[in-house]
């Protein structure tokens, strides 16, 4: 793919333009990964999904925060099977709010039908014809799905049916019907694997409470990416361009992204472009700083208003921006949630106080951030006295940090932590 090998630097403006184009192909901040050689990390989740697929009667639910990489994993995981699994066929449909149980399965069967026609892999012509008519018009029941899947595929074939964005479905019966479908496929030992994918904190919010179905469901939680996985996104791309990334630049991107791969892509892309504009093959920290400005500009439309709703005030001495920034910098777990104590630590630094701020100093701010009046920028979880908080829209978290950097609110020490991993790094 790369026309420029290391040591073979672009010479003409046309060469640099071509390199810029390649960078735009490798970094994909707004689309899921489709090829596994550009897919980073996620070993544990892949193993669990593979095990669920191998076991007859087992199905999976892949859930986590928005933007952590669920669709990418669902797209590439079928490619990652050991080559002995020759008969795997993966189908993926995306739910939209107007869908009900029947329309979701109509989409699935339409996809299967198209594939069967294209590949000529159906059992017989009559099966193919039945498949074509199956999705037209009528209501589909869990039993219909079980019978059709059993009939369409030969015993050696294992279809993987990924139903993405399942959290979007509004049909109140869809959860129970889907649970019944999974139970029925499992009870009859049909060799098909259903993978339900969606934004959710736990599996019951995605599919409801169905204790008898839980036994046949593998729960795969998709956490935020750890630092090694985020670094891998860059390592899999920048050398392909014949470029190098300075250590400080690398860690700044890794830390700023707060575990969200789309930010690694955005910052990676804009930093690369900034270096290319300087006609340099080495990406430096200054390029990342340029990238931050461009990211803020790009996200202006989608996030600035939310940010304003969360932090606006007529009083000059209010601390909304500072407290929200402290939340964004606070040490969080792999689901992005943090405690008031960890906010206090960051707020103390932001305000340059000598003594640590008590959590009571910003309790009211947190209550407001959770309320609809401030756009519910934060969500509260846990029990009283052990409350935790997280950004309702995870994408807001790196945005708030970058806003803080731009406005000079993130103190010098926080920035130096971002720049110098040897001195410690921002926790995630
Ligand atoms: N393993 C990975 N390696 C490299 N990039 C990744 C990986 N996983 C996700 N990404 C990138 O992260 C971004 C979000 O990925 P994806 O769309 O798969 O997330 P998602 O969890 O399905 O998001 P949503 O909740 O919005 O549907 C995309 O830009 C994608 O290219
Ligand atoms: Mg997705």
| CATH, residue 217 | 3.40.50.300
Last residue of a domain, one of 201, 222, 243: 222
Same domain, 101 and 243: no
162 domain residue, yes or no: yes
- Does 243 lie in the same domain as 184? no
Q: Is residue 198 part of a domain?
A: yes
Alpha-carbon gap, residue 116 to 149, rounded angstroms: 13
Whether residue 90 is found in the same domain as residue 102: yes
Q: What is the pLDDT of residue 100?
A: 92
Q: Give the model's confidence band at 425: pLDDT under 50 very low, under 70 low, under 90 confident, else very high.
A: very low
* Mean pLDDT, the chain, whole residue set: 87
Say if 242 falls within a structural domain.
Answer: yes
Q: How are beta strands 158-164 and 193-199 bridged, if at all?
A: parallel
Per-residue b or e along 239-274, where b marks 16 or more CB atoms closer than 10 Å to that residue's CB = ebbbbbbbebbbbbbbbbbbbbbbbbbbbbbbbbbb
Tell whether 190 and 240 lie within a shared domain: no
**What pLDDT is recorded for position 1?**
47
Q: Which atom of ligand 1 is nearest to the CA of 68?
A: 21
Q: What's the pLDDT score for residue 390? A: 96
Distance CA 99, CA 94 (A): 10
pLDDT above 90 covers a percentage of the chain that reads 62
The rounded Å distance from CA 166 to ligand 2 centre is 10
Of all helices (H) and strands (E), which one includes residue 298?
Answer: helix 285-299
So what's the pLDDT on residue 128? Answer: 58
Whether ligand 1 lies within 6 angstroms of the CB of 66 is answered as yes
Atom number, ligand 1, closest to the C-alpha of residue 76: 1
* Global pTM value: 0.89
Query: Rounded distance, CA 20 to CA 117, Å?
Result: 40
Mean pLDDT of 187-200: 93
Mean pLDDT value of segment 323-340: 92
Of 135 and 146, more confident: 146
Q: Residues 6 or more apart from 298 whose CB is under 8 A from it?
A: 266
Residue identifier of the C-alpha nearest atom 29 of ligand 1: 29
Once rounded to an integer, what is the mean pLDDT over residues 327-340? 91
In this predicted structure, what is the pLDDT of residue 415? Answer: 56
pLDDT of residue 424: 44
Instruction: Identify which of 67, 230, 237 to mutate to test ligand 1's pocket (most ligand atoms within 8 A of the CB).
Output: 67
Flag whether pLDDT at 120 surpasses 80.
no
Please tell me whether residues 353 and 421 are part of one structural domain. Answer: yes
370 within domain boundaries: yes
CA 63 to ligand 2 center in whole angstroms: 10
* 73 and 153 assigned to the same domain: yes
Residue 329's pLDDT band (cuts 50, 70, 90): very high
363 in the same domain as 233: yes
> What is the Å distance from ligand 2's center to 179 Cα?
21
My answer on whether 192 and 208 are in the same domain is yes
Residues 6+ apart with CB under 8 A from 297: none
For residues 300 and 159, membership in a common domain is answered with no
* Ligand nearest the Cα atom of residue 30: 1
| Residue 45 Cβ contacting ligand 1 at under 6 Å | no
pLDDT in tens, 258-291: 999 999 999 999 999 999 999 999 999 999 999 9
What pLDDT shows up at residue 394? 95
Which range marks the domain in which residue 106 is found? 42-222
313 plus 350 within the same structural domain: yes
Q: Can you spell out the DSSP letters for 136-157?
A: SSS---HHHHHHHHHHHS-TT-
Element (H, E) at 285: helix 285-299
Same domain, 281 and 383: yes
The answer to whether residue 193 scores a pLDDT higher than 90 is yes
Residue 413: predicted pLDDT: 59
Q: Which ligand is nearest to the CA of 35?
A: 1
Give the closest residue (by CA) to ligand 1 atom 26. Answer: 67
Any domain includes 66 = yes
Q: Is residue 307 part of a domain?
A: yes
Ligand 1 atom at minimal distance to the Cα of residue 233: 4
How far is 150 from 185, CA to CA, in rounded Å? Answer: 9
- Do 307 and 196 belong to one domain? no
Total domains in the chain come to: 2
**Domain limit, last residue, from 189, 222, 255:** 222
User: Which of 61, 70, 72 for a ligand 1 pocket mutation test, highest count of atoms within 8 Å of Cβ?
Assistant: 72
How far apart (Å, rounded) are the C-alpha atoms in residues 381 and 202?
Answer: 12
Distance of CA 4 from the midpoint of ligand 2 (Å): 33
Q: Say if ligand 1 is within 6 A of residue 132 CB.
A: no
Of 207, 222, 237, which residue is a domain's last? 222
35-93: pLDDT as tens digits: 889 999 999 999 999 888 888 889 999 999 999 999 999 999 877 776 665 578 889 99
Q: How much of the chain is helix, strand and coil, in % rounded to 5?
A: 55, 10, 35
């Amino acid at each position: 793919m790369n026309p420029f090998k290391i040591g073979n630097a672009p010479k003409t403006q046309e060469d640099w333009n071509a390199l810029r184009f390649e960078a735009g192909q490798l970094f994909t901040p707004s689309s899921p990964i489709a090829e596994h050689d550009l897919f980073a990390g996620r070993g544990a989740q892949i193993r669990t999904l593979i095990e669920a697929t191998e076991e007859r009667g087992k199905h999976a639910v892949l859930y986590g925060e928005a933007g952590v990489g669920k669709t990418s994993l669902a797209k590439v995981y079928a490619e990652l099977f050991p080559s002995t699994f020759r008969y795997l066929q993966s189908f993926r449909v995306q739910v939209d709010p107007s869908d009900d149980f029947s329309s979701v399965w109509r989409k699935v069967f339409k996809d299967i039908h198209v594939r069967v026609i294209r590949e000529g892999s159906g059992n017989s012509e009559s099966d193919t014809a039945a498949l074509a008519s199956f999705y037209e018009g009528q209501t589909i029941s869990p039993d219909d799905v079980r019978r059709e899947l059993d009939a369409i595929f030969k015993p050696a074939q294992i279809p993987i049916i990924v139903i993405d964005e399942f959290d979007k479905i509004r049909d109140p019966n869809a959860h129970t019907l889907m649970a019944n479908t999974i139970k029925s496929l499992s009870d009859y030992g049909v060799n098909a694997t259903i993978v339900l994918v969606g934004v959710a904190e736990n599996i019951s919010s995605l599919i409801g409470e169905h204790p008898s179905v839980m036994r046949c469901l593998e729960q795969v939680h998709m956490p935020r990416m750890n630092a090694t996985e985020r670094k891998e996104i860059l390592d899999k791309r920048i050398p392909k361009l014949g470029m190098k990334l300075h250590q400080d630049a690398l860690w700044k991107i890794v830390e700023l992204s707060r575990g969200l791969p789309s930010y690694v892509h955005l910052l990676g892309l804009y930093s690369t472009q900034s270096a290319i504009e300087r006609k340099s093959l080495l990406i430096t920290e200054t390029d990342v700083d340029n990238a931050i400005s461009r990211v803020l500009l790009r996200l202006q439309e989608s996030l600035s208003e939310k940010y304003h709703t969360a932090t606006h005030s007529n009083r000059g001495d209010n601390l909304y921006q500072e407290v929200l920034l402290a939340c964004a910098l606070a040490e969080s777990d792999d689901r992005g949630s943090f405690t008031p104590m960890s906010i206090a630590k960051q707020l103390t630094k932001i305000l340059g106080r000598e003594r640590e701020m008590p959590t009571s100093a910003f309790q009211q701010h947190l209550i407001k951030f959770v309320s609809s009046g401030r756009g519910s920028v934060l969500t509260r979880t846990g029990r009283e006295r052990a409350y935790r908080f997280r950004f309702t829209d995870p994408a807001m978290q790196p945005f708030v940090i970058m806003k803080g950097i731009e406005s000079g609110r993130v103190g010098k020490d926080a920035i130096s932590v971002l720049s110098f991993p040897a001195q410690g790094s921002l926790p995630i």
